[in-house]
Chains A and B, each alone.
Chain A
Amino acid sequence: MGAGNTIRILDGNTFVVSEDTGDIEATPSEPTGLFSIDTRFLSKWVLTVNGERLNSLSYDDLQYYEARFFLVPGMATHYTDAKLSIIRERTVGGSFREQLTILNHDENPVDLEIRMDAGSDFADLFQVKDEILNKKGEIYAEVEPDRLRLGYRRGNFTRETMISSSAPARFDREGFAYSIHLEPNEQWETRIDVHTAALGPGGRDLRIGLRVHGTERLALQHDLEKWIADAPKVNSQHGRVASTYKRSLIDLAALRFSPLSLGGATLPAAGLPWFMTMFGRDSILTCLQTLPFTPQLSKTTLRILAALQGTRFDDFRDEDPGRILHEMRYGETAAFEEQPHSPYYGSVDATPLFLVLLDEYEKWSGDVALVMELEQESRAALRWIDDYADLVGNGYIWYERRNTDTGLENQCWKDSWDSISYSDGRLPPFPRATCEVQGYAYDAKMRAARLARQFWNDPAFADQLEREAAELKQRFNRDWWVADGEYFALALDPDGRQCDVLSSNIGHLLWSGIVDHDRAEKIAHHLVGPRLFSGWGVRTLAEGEVRYNPIGYHNGTIWPFDNSFIAWGLRRYGFAEEAATIANGILDAATYFDGRLPEAFGGYQRELTKFPVEYPTACSPQAWSTGTPLLLLRTMLGLEPHEGHLSVEPRLPVGMGRIEVLDIPGRWGRVDAFARGRLDLHKLGD
């Protein structure tokens, strides 16, 4: 869903998407509604005054959890004559609350019929973009004197929406109404509460005891203020970087999500609107991006992913012992096993990335206790890499789904069906192995070796892991190098043939450290060269490849998160200027989106479009796009935990001026970092 003129507010996995009047009239092409735990609880929410729809004068999304709409009756052309104004103020935080205020500006009294049409299709999030023809359960509406109860029942699975009002209302099966009389300059108000329920047979809600903060507006506000106060402050000479940082920090707060099994602690959900849930890959990568700023997210993410680590073989869920989950869902299709997300394990990168995050987290926080706590899970993850992921038996991580109906074909971050191809455009058979995942495995083993040696008191295991990592690196640099193009292949097919396209994935290889030093410069050149770099960022697939399309989801668009890891990788190998070039392009792009980077934008050349073209159905805010400016800051400032202290080695482009990051938390307490733009990015075209 494009941003369009829909208004979204959210808190954790409860969110409202509406028109700019505040109305909700869901259709497959306009998937508006009130959503919670992957279920739509309102698909219709339409306000009328004397039978007339309202028109929006303006709206404010004041905070991520609240919005305000100023409305008048009638069509846009009439509103200057309006003698009536209507204000809808709404808050979402566990439940949904709307304050309705009506003001009479006329010199005469008025009698008004106020009506809200309310209804719900109780669609599973997986169904909202489809016409729902045969819902398997029964939808009901029960009118009580003081409330309307909308419900859906399928066996013991019950979801209910309860609507009540502070001013007395007449409830019927399709909504509720008020008849009011307003004297001149008089105003009338009511508070409407919409409560969502996920009930079991005992009438108990599935989510009892889960809220971290109250649903009251003040509690939400207090929580947000604390979140911002606890994070480092960023000041920048031109204000631009500082405002992008602030936007990201607030969006991260909005995307926090408390899963059922963690007793209220939070981790980043993947993104609004389709991914307000726990994703192994997205949550881990977001944590890696945000570690210097909001380290508490990493601890909860590691714990919850460890708690749900695979323990058995389950073909429907693509679960193996030691495997880290891909996606958890709470809706009807997961409950009735029409979709495998309870949870689904079909990802091959989450498991090695789990180890990468644990090590990186310890380097920043010094939280040895967590490294000890997660030793067994870490060992199980390493066993998964060696025992269950090597489907060809040649020392790489491969994937081939066992759930051939609803499982994922591509289990890497580029998970669309056509993302992995040969240079002639054909798609390879399964199992497939993509390059960046081998890098993650290398990094995971190197980092786990450090943990084994320093904390688990197992130097023999550390030696073994380092030996295996060294062999992997050697093997990888031999098997994946595309000799005539001088870069690494995107993937291998089961016969060892290379998917020899030039892709952004090679940037992740630098981040993981698997690239032989004498080849790093070639890779760096490709990443900022004309085929991959658009002027804004690195394309997922290089211009000139058969499947290249500037708005191809994983075949040519630019993903901000991808670029942040590429920049980190460039910096790791000493290519500070190239890293700054990418950081500069992405941060420039962010200003066109008011500091909120979308999931992806078009791969068009910067000179051609002058502004970044948003990918049509991109999710926003999305966690790893939100985390991108934070990782770019880290990269440009050269923030690295080093033997217990924080080293700062800034390499900033000239135009960025002075940047300061204050109160960076870590094992050192809190320290500040300062930087001034000195790099002349002669490579930039503009």
Chain B
Amino acid sequence: MLDATTRFFEELDRKGYEPRLAKTVGSLRVDLREGPQTTHWLMRIDRGRVEVSQEDQEADTVIGTSPTLFEDIAAGREHGIAALLRGDMTVMGDARLVVQVERIFPGDPDARGPRRRFQREVR
């Protein structure tokens, strides 16, 4: 079974286009560190077109965190901005890119969302 992190990036690569990044240009690398081992995910974004690879190449922005925390973010159980404020995730380079990319992570799978009265769901 694939982990949420891999699923997130592979899905993004497969789609090749993410409308919420339509105004974004730049590259963002995610470094997932665990002991001596670091896994890389590199996103090249060009006005919504997204390419994902696992190359360890220079990027405009580099995010560093643990595989466990990133797994929770990719699954919607943890929140990227809060993790950033806590220092559990670090950013080097252009912080704007992080804020843009953070928005494409899924929401909490258990979120109720707005509901109409008498429990009719809106969503």
Contacts and interface: CB of A to CB of B under 8 A. Distances in A.
Given A312-B107, A392-B116, A337 B82 contact: yes
B10 to A, nearest CB: 20
Nearest to B23: A373
Contacts of A313: 107-108, 111-114, 123
A78 interface: no
Interface size class of A (residues with CB under 8 A): 35 or more
Given A155-B88, A313-B108, A335 B82 contact: yes
A204 B90 CA distance: 8
Given A209-B95, A342-B81, A335 B86 contact: yes
B12 to A, nearest CB: 14
Contacts of A391: 114-117, 122
B99 A307 contact: yes
Nearest to B90: A200
Nearest to B113: A313
Given A312-B106, A312-B107, A494-B117, A334 B82 contact: yes
A79 interface: no
A393 interface: yes
A206 B100 CA distance: 16
A599 interface: no
Contacts of B79: 314, 317, 337, 342
Interface stretch (A183-191, A246-254, A258-266): A258-266
Contacts of B85: 157, 206, 330, 334-335, 342
Contact of B86 (A202, A204, A317, A336): A336
A263 B76 CA distance: 27
Contacts of A330: 85
A314 B108 contact: yes
Contacts of A260: 95, 99
Nearest to B103: A311
A653 B84 CA distance: 54
Q: Is chain A's interface secondary structure helix, strand, loop, or mixed overall? A: loop
Contacts of B98: 261
Interface string B61-93: 000100000000000100101101111111110
Contacts of B86: 155-157, 335-336
Contacts of B14: none
Contact of A308 (B91, B99, B104): B99
B117 A201 contact: no
Point out which of A261, A313, A317, A330 has the most chain B C-beta atoms below 10 A from its C-beta: A313
A376 B117 contact: no
A195 interface: no
B75 to A, nearest CB: 13
A74 B100 CA distance: 56
A348 to B, nearest CB: 11
B20 interface: yes
Contacts of A575: none
A262 B94 CA distance: 10
Interface residues of B, number: 40
A42 to B, nearest CB: 21
Given A158-B87, A307-B100, A342 B94 contact: no
Contacts of B20: 311
Contact of B116 (A261, A334, A393): A393
Contacts of B23: 373
A204 B92 contact: yes
Contacts of A206: 84-85, 87
B112 A402 contact: yes
Contacts of B123: 313, 388
Interface in B30-86: 64, 76, 79, 81-82, 84-86
Nearest to B99: A261
Contacts of B112: 313, 315, 402
A392 B105 CA distance: 29
A388 B122 contact: yes
A218 to B, nearest CB: 27
Contacts of A390: 116, 122
A199 B85 CA distance: 9
A201 B90 contact: yes
A313 B19 CA distance: 18
Contact of B96 (A156, A262, A311): A262
B118 to A, nearest CB: 9
Contact of A315 (B90, B103, B105, B108): B108
A157 B88 CA distance: 8
A641 interface: no
A314 B95 contact: no
Nearest to B107: A312
Interface string A291-320: 000000000000000011101111111011
A387 interface: yes
A343 interface: yes
Contacts of B95: 208-209, 260-261, 263
A588 B98 CA distance: 47
Contacts of B116: 390-393
Contacts of A389: 114
Nearest to B84: A206
A330 B87 CA distance: 11
Interface string A316-339: 110110000000001000111100
Contacts of B111: 312-315
A677 interface: no
Contacts of A320: 113-114
A235 to B, nearest CB: 41
A376 B96 contact: no
Contacts of B96: 261-263, 307
Nearest to B80: A342
A494 B115 CA distance: 13
Nearest to B83: A335
A246 B106 CA distance: 47
Contacts of A387: 122
A330 B82 CA distance: 9
A308 B80 CA distance: 13
A199 B100 contact: no
Nearest to A343: B81
A206 B98 CA distance: 12
Interface of B: 19-20, 22-23, 64, 76, 79, 81-82, 84-92, 94-96, 98-100, 103-108, 111-117, 120, 122-123
Given A309-B103, A312-B76, A320-B113, 13 more contacts: A200-B89, A201-B90, A208-B95, A263-B95, A263-B96, A307-B100, A312-B106, A313-B114, A316-B108, A317-B79, A336-B82, A342-B79, A391-B114
Give the top 10 A-B pairs by smallest Cβ distance, nearest first: A312-B107, A156-B87, A261-B99, A335-B85, A313-B111, A313-B113, A200-B87, A335-B86, A200-B90, A342-B82
24 contacts: A199-B87, A200-B87, A200-B90, A204-B91, A206-B85, A208-B95, A260-B95, A260-B99, A262-B96, A263-B94, A312-B76, A313-B108, A314-B107, A315-B112, A335-B87, A336-B82, A337-B79, A337-B82, A342-B79, A376-B19, A376-B22, A392-B117, A402-B113, A402-B114
Interface of A: 155-158, 199-202, 204, 206, 208-209, 260-263, 307-309, 311-317, 319-320, 330, 334-337, 342-343, 373, 376, 387-393, 402, 431, 494
